[in-house]
Amino acid sequence: MATRVRPRNKRCAVIGGSGFLGRHLVEKLLDRGYSVSVFDICPSCEVPGVTFHRGDLCDKQALLSALKDVSLVFHCASPAPGSDNRSLFERVNIQGTRTVIEACIEVGVQRLVLTSSASVVFEGTDIKNGSEDLPYAKKPIDYYTKTKIEQEKLVLNACDKEKGFLTVAIRPHGIFGPRDPQLVPILVDTARRGKMKFIIGDGTNLVDFTFVENVVHGHILAAERLRPDSPICGKPYHITNDEPVRFWDFMSEVLVGLGYDPPRYHLPYILVYGLALLLWLLAVILRPLVSFKPTFTPMRVALAGTHHYYSCERAKQDMGYKPLVSLKEGIACTVQSYPHLQKGD
Ligand SMILES: NC(=O)C1=CN([C@@H]2O[C@H](COP(=O)(O)OP(=O)(O)OC[C@H]3O[C@@H](n4cnc5c(N)ncnc54)[C@H](O)[C@@H]3O)[C@@H](O)[C@H]2O)C=CC1
Ligand SMILES: CC(C)CCC[C@@H](C)[C@H]1CC[C@H]2C3=C(CC[C@]12C)[C@@]1(C)CCC(=O)C[C@@H]1CC3
């Protein structure tokens, strides 16, 4: 069978395409008629029709050969936020992103879409309907976020209309959906260990959880609107479900959907945060002797006990963004996709 040669603007690469978001993005791009290459350090992207390049994004030579003939690059690779390997975050998110930009420019890539994070402005205190005008966090909640800030700055500053290299950053928040390795599995693991009985704070704090297909939609809209005359060049955009929800209602709905009891008893936020901080300090001090990873890290407690939801008005205005899947539909689809995490299995 003859292979169809696609125009260059329909040839793209997804760096981090084996991951949770990356793989959903790859599947949608194929549906939309793109030819897709995946570049990832992990070889698990077995999507038919995709050219897979295994490599580390810090390796420029490997990137140069993977990005040859590609006009559009999505960069959604990152070490997992739960890792406490600072030098890995630094190497991949900062130095590696610099290498991605250099490689894109060298091979003539025209558009680069970065997956950033809404958390780049979060300092652990309430954010209600935050816009993209909020300043970057001076005290980011963890080292992962610190390097996401630097990464976003690098990509947005590299936007150069004269050189024909256009960039944009998408800032999702709390991505969930089928195959998510993080949110639902951590929640279920906590419930299975009998630790999901307590609500931190009064339980009224509103948060954004964003269904993965909406995040993918935001990325593709951004890529397709990224032209020299577009207002989106060199800018960050929040992409959310546009339905802030009580953190504990969301967690309860997922837990109940999977057959677990929802948390019932309230604990003061400041008490849990203090305990989490203490445990985290202990884990650091005792690391040479014993290794343990507390479930309730200060970062998770801050995310579970404060308001953090963001406006996506700018994405609506500048790129015609609108969530395609409601929170209710997203939760139903997610719960259904995890039969092995149902209680009793
Ligand atoms: N999951 C979430 O709630 C949110 C995620 N994000 C961002 O979205 C992006 C995707 O996240 P997920 O899909 O959740 O993570 P993931 O861990 O499922 O996927 C990340 C992918 O990057 C790859 N990767 C890591 N280091 C690499 C390297 N040195 N070279 C090549 N590939 C490498 C991994 O192998 C993995 O396939 C990340 O940039 C993350 O910071 C932003 C906001 C929220
Ligand atoms: C044990 C429970 C109190 C909490 C379980 C759920 C959490 C694992 C998740 C709730 C909010 C999530 C979140 C992220 C990771 C998973 C949660 C902490 C991110 C840190 C992922 C990377 C980002 O860029 C920001 C996300 C914010 C929300």
Give the relative orientation of helices 20-31 and 212-225 as an angle to the nearest 10 degrees.
60
Mean pLDDT (whole number) for 49-78:
96
CB 35 within 8 A of CB 58: no
- Confidence class of residue 2 from pLDDT cuts 50, 70 and 90? very low
Q: State which of 78, 127, 186 you would mutate to test the pocket of ligand 2, scoring each by most atoms of that ligand within 8 A of its C-beta.
A: 186
The ligand with the least distance to the CA atom of 192 is 2
DSSP state of 299: H
Of the residues 34, 144, 237, 260, only one is catalytic, namely 144
> Which residues are within 8 A (CB) of 68 and not within 5 positions of it... i.e. 6 or more apart?
107
Per DSSP, the three-state class of 166 is strand
Please report which confidence band the pLDDT of residue 5 belongs to, taking 50, 70 and 90 as the band edges. low
CB 252 within 8 A of CB 326: no
> Which residue from 76, 116, 215 has its CB within 8 A of the most atoms of ligand 1, so it is best to mutate?
76
pLDDT tens column, 223-251: 999 999 999 999 999 999 999 999 999 99
What pLDDT sits at residue 1?
45
Tell me how far the alpha carbon of residue 115 lies from the centroid of ligand 1, in angstroms: 9
CA of 128 to the centre of ligand 2 (A): 18
pTM equals: 0.95
Mark whether 309 is an active-site residue: no
Point out which residues pair with 85 in neighbouring strands: none
Q: What atom in ligand 2 is closest to the CA of residue 299?
A: 18
Laid out side by side, the sheet with 127-130 consists of: 127-130, 308-310, 206-207, 245-246
**Gap between the Cα atoms of 308 and 205, Å rounded:** 8
For ligand 2, whether the C-beta of 215 sits within 6 Å is no
Ligand closest to Cα of 198 equals: 2
